[in-house]
Structure 1
Amino acid sequence: MKTKILSIGLAALIMTAAFTVLQKEVKVDTNSSQIAWVGKKVTGQHNGIVNIKEGALEMEEGQVTGGFFVIDMTTIDVLDLEGEYKGKLMGHLRSDDFFSVEKYPTAKFTITSIDKSEATDATHFIAGDLTIKGITNKITFPATVTIKDGKANAKASFALDRTKWEVRYGSGSFFDGLGDKMIYDDFELSVNLSSL
């Protein structure tokens, strides 16, 4: 009886160890990971960056299988303006007209699935839940995911409809008569995510 219990316990230990070897979690390198953004309006566009606060990627048998990252909304920066105009736009983006940063200092993306892609310009399709201003929507986008020397890197460029997260300022979908003050609903993101 003791031998049987010992055998079962040993088998369970081996299976746990094997699973631990196959699946691991690696932290996101917040120094080399970043999100670039572009917002467009009738009369032009603005662009900038926002930093990744923290995150982790789940890896199994040398492939990324899941993970999450937290976006530090307090770091929203504008790159195409300087001085007073830059300060005004940064303040406006952080205000309740846009991302309500004081109330919602972070946003979060959680991966729900990663599927290999046959597209020539992407290796995978990533699906997940994006939470901005406390509102969560499911999004899917193509990405190029690479593994080198045990480190993962994911790059993706895609557009999001900001109004799905109740960012409606200057939106022609909700306000009439905006003329050349209209801001397009879609904004573009370029994500570069690397693991440690």
Structure 2
Amino acid sequence: MKTTFLKITALAAFVAFTSCNDKAKEAETKDAEAAAVAEETAVTFKADADNSSIMWKGFKPTGSHTGTINVKEGTVAVNNGMIESGNFTIDMGTIVVTDIPVDDEDNAKLQGHLSGPDFFDVQSHPTATFEVTGLETKDGKTMLSGNLTMKDETNNISFPVKTSVDGDTMTLRSETFTIDRSKWNVKYGSKSFFDDLGDSFINDEIELTINLVANKA
């Protein structure tokens, strides 16, 4: 019995250690670049907002929170199965918290805080945009690059994706990656802006996983 208990304890410790240290890589981030231009032969696909989503995860010293946000609209141009250009609008007003029960008052409290002026300031900045600037193979992975604009700040990010075209439907799935929110002027609880936070800070890194479905226009 004692041996079994020790094994279980060791396994729990290993899982906890792995969870804390196996964070997703940050997307390569640099200055904005020129938008990609598709060839005339490219086929246009229109984003299916009902079947597309962005999953997010935010971290703080005492744990983390998860949620989703919706793609409002967008188009992508595809040639021979490869993305050549694209433009997407993200509806910042659809931020949802998924790790707290909907009927728990803390759910609405956190959702309101994320939407408020301290964080994404949805009233003043109701949408974010992503504009494709390129697609390349790097270290055996397909890397999608684009200009992400939030709160009037624009940075170019690159992250791994897998794409496929099946008849009139195109799907894009990203690996989980992180962005540094401070680079988009999201200041609340950030050590990048404040020196006196102690243990009350919130990590700058936000994990994102993109699931996009688009249908032939």
Amino acid across the alignment from 2:118: D
1:99 aligns with 2:99: no
**TM-score, scaled relative to structure 2:** 0.76
SS across alignment from 2:124: coil
Amino acid across the alignment from 2:156: K
| Partner Cα separation in structure 1 for residue 45 and residue 165 of structure 2 | 12
How far does residue 177 in structure 1 lie from its aligned partner after superposition? 2.8
Give the 5 Å matches for 1:89-168. 89-119=110-140, 122=141, 124-156=142-174, 157-168=176-187
- Match for residue 62 of structure 1 among 78, 81, 94: 81
| Partner Cα separation in structure 1 for residue 59 and residue 53 of structure 2 | 20
Q: Which has the larger radius of gyration?
A: 1
How many residues of Structure 1 are paired with residues of Structure 2 in the alignment?
174
How far does residue 25 in structure 1 lie from its aligned partner after superposition? 1.2
Amino acid across the alignment from 1:93: L
- Match for residue 85 of structure 1 among 85, 99, 106: 106
How far does residue 80 in structure 1 lie from its aligned partner after superposition? 0.8
For 2:199, the equivalent position in structure 1 comes to 180
Any unmatched runs of 5+ in structure 2?
A: 1-38
Q: Percent identity?
A: 41
For 2:208, the equivalent position in structure 1 comes to 189
| Partner Cα separation in structure 2 for residue 30 and residue 143 of structure 1 | 19
| Partner Cα separation in structure 2 for residue 34 and residue 60 of structure 1 | 24
Amino acid across the alignment from 2:74: G
Cα deviation, 1:43-97, whole Å, max 9, x if unaligned, reads: 1100000011001110123322111111000000001113210111011001111
SS across alignment from 2:189: coil
For 2:69, the equivalent position in structure 1 comes to 50
| Partner Cα separation in structure 1 for residue 59 and residue 212 of structure 2 | 24
Q: CA contact under 8 A between 1:43 and 1:181: conserved in structure 2?
A: no
How far does residue 150 in structure 1 lie from its aligned partner after superposition? 3.9
Any unmatched runs of 5+ in structure 1?
A: 1-18
State the structure with bigger RCO (CA 8 A, min sep 6), 1 or 2.
2
| Partner Cα separation in structure 1 for residue 94 and residue 42 of structure 2 | 33
For 1:5, the equivalent position in structure 2 comes to none
For 2:26, the equivalent position in structure 1 comes to none
How far does residue 118 in structure 1 lie from its aligned partner after superposition? 4.2
